[in-house]
């Protein structure tokens, strides 16, 4: 019931946002919008976790959709693959981006499916550089895990560019890791593509 | 952070992982036989035991406010928390924190030095490792135990501490190992980000946002 009402309110807000957005893309706008995006995402994740009779594959499918619609994957990808991306030709770029999408969706889906219904609550939202940051807590015994969602505009929507968990930036970790792999393969774009392909295949198998 | 000894570090990292598989994993299983409540008591006590080190480092960093907190926590938990097995202070709005001499050196302006993977102890900066050597001599409890002729108790204590940390991190580490393209690089980055956060008491400098530089 509560869930339903929240969903309704959220939908109404999004609808209102869609009407108002073209006229008022102010700083306050992106802060409120960001908060709504994170709240909407968490309620979608929760309802997916709660809905009975979903196979594991179906559940993963839904997480992937939620992820894709809320994360600015192309921008994150270009930044994470930095050097390799800059040195890649168009056909390599296409492969890199496809693999990165598959990889990051898998990675975050694994994290999401570990979520066992500890309380997730949005604590605050405020301006952050060119966008906004939404702070949320995961509470479940002991001190809460603090998540910072760094949000930026992407076309008409507001999307996640980075998640900072207890002061650790996931995108920065990935960027350093990808850079290390690229260097270890003698700065070869194809080397990175091969490593990513192997990883995605391995994650698909399990 | 620089990693000029990457080759050696990678070798030691592999060795540590093998040791962890052979010893750490089975010991964690045994440790998990203790119910969660009991593990929390052990965790609280270990934090209590090392709190004098935190106190001294709070002072050395000029953090009088935090030193006060550590001091009050120590006595509340000693007296009401039955010798530190119950973190009564933390439950009542005075959460604990940890400081070590490596962090103090950082606050004093000493650079991190090269990254080192230490046998059994894992990722460290040179500064962090040097700090540990000092910390081992800062705890009055160690001297009490040594005077009583039971210095080995402390070694068991540190071993339990390692297992306790491992137990808490196990699931996250398993996920990371499974999903990372290069586990060594992933851990190195994770260690360094976490260490910076510890040094700056959670007030991390502005992290870059992907795409802001485009």
Is a pLDDT exceeding 80 seen at residue B27? yes
Contact assessment for residue A34 and residue A151, using Cβ atoms and an 8 Å cutoff: yes
Contact assessment for residue A17 and residue A31, using Cβ atoms and an 8 Å cutoff: no
Q: What residue has token string 């994993």?
A: B25
Bridge partners (DSSP) of residue A125 are A134
Q: Domains in chain A and their CATH numbers?
A: 5-205 (3.10.450.710)
B36: in domain: yes
Alpha carbons B28 and B20: distance in angstroms, whole number: 10
- Residues in A whose CB is inside 8 Å of some CB of B read 72, 75-76, 78-80, 106-107, 110-111, 114, 128-131, 143, 150, 152, 161-162, 164, 166-169, 171-173, 175-181, 184, 195-196, 199, 203, 206
B86: in domain: yes
At A45 the pLDDT is 87
Q: What residue has token string 């550590």?
A: B70
Q: In the numeric block, which tokens belong to residue A176? A: 């350093």
Confidence (pTM) = 0.87
On chain A, the residues whose CB falls within 8 A of the CB of B193 are 167-169, 172-173
B47: in domain: yes
Q: What residue has token string 């073209």?
A: A22
**B211/A161 CB distance under 8 A:** yes
At A7 the pLDDT is 53
Tally of domains in chain B:
1
Say which DSSP state B181 is in. S
Complex ipTM = 0.86
B42: in domain: yes
At B37 the pLDDT is 94
- Residues in B whose CB is inside 8 Å of some CB of A read 95, 171, 175, 178-182, 184-186, 188-190, 193-194, 196-197, 202, 204, 206-214
Nearest to A178 among B171, B179, B181 (CB): B181
3-state secondary structure of A184: helix
B208: in domain: no
Range of the domain at B98: 6-199
- In chain B, % of residues over pLDDT 90: 84
B183: in domain: yes
The C-alpha of A83 sits at a distance from chain B's nearest C-alpha, in angstroms, of: 14
Contact assessment for residue A129 and residue A151, using Cβ atoms and an 8 Å cutoff: no
> Which residue in A81, A168, A171, A198 has the most chain B C-beta atoms within 10 A of its own C-beta, making it the best mutation to test that interface?
A168
At A1 the pLDDT is 39
B164: in domain: yes
Nearest CA in chain B to A178: B181
B154: in domain: yes
**A79/B202 CB distance under 8 A:** no
Contact assessment for residue B118 and residue B5, using Cβ atoms and an 8 Å cutoff: no
pLDDT in tens, B178-208: 999 999 999 999 999 999 999 999 888 788 9
On chain B, the residues whose CB falls within 8 A of the CB of A143 are 95
- Weakly modelled stretches of chain A, pLDDT under 70: 1-28, 116-117, 141-142, 206
CA dist B183 to A24, A45, A50, A53, B174, Å? 45, 28, 33, 35, 10
């Amino acid at each position: 019931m509560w869930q339903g009402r929240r969903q309704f309110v959220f939908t109404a807000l999004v609808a209102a946002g869609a009407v108002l957005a073209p006229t008022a893309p102010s700083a306050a706008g992106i802060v409120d919008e960001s908060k709504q995006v994170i709240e909407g995402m968490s309620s979608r994740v929760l309802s997916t976790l709660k809905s009975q009779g979903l196979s594991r594959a179906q559940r993963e499918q839904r997480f992937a959709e939620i992820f894709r619609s809320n994360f600015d994957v192309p921008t994150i990808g270009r930044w994470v693959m930095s050097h390799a991306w800059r040195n890649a030709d168009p056909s390599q770029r296409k492969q890199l981006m496809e693999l990165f999408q598959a990889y990051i969706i898998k990675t975050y889906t694994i994290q999401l499916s570990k979520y066992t219904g500890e309380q997730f609550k949005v604590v605050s939202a405020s301006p952050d550089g060119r966008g906004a940051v939404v702070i949320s807590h995961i509470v479940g015994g002991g001190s809460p895990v603090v998540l910072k969602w760094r949000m930026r505009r992407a076309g008409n929507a507001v999307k996640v560019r980075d998640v900072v968990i207890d002061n650790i930036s996931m995108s920065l970790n990935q960027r350093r890791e990808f850079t290390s792999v690229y260097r270890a393969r003698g700065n070869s774009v194809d080397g990175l593509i091969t490593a990513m392909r192997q990883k995605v295949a391995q994650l698909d198998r399990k | 952070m620089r990693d000029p000894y990457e080759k050696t570090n990678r070798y030691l990292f592999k060795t540590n992982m093998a040791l962890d598989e052979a010893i750490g994993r089975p010991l964690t299983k045994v440790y998990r036989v203790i119910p969660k409540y009991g593990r929390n008591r052990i965790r609280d006590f270990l934090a209590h035991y090392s709190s004098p080190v935190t106190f001294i480092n709070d002072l050395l960093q000029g953090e009088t406010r935090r030193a006060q907190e550590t001091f009050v926590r120590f006595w509340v938990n000693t007296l009401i928390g039955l010798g530190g097995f119950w973190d009564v202070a933390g439950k009542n709005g005075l959460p604990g924190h940890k400081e070590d001499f490596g962090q103090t050196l950082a606050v004093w302006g000493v650079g991190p030095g090269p990254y080192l993977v230490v046998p059994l102890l894992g990722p460290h900066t040179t500064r962090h490792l040097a700090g540990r050597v000092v910390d081992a001599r800062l705890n009055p409890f160690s001297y009490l135990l040594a005077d009583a002729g039971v210095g080995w108790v402390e070694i068991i204590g540190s071993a339990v501490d390692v297992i306790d940390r491992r137990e808490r991190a196990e699931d996250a580490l398993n996920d990371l190992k499974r999903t990372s393209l290069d586990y060594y690089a992933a851990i190195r980055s994770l260690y360094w980000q976490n260490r910076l956060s510890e040094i700056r008491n959670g007030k991390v400098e502005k992290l870059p946002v992907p795409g802001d530089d485009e």
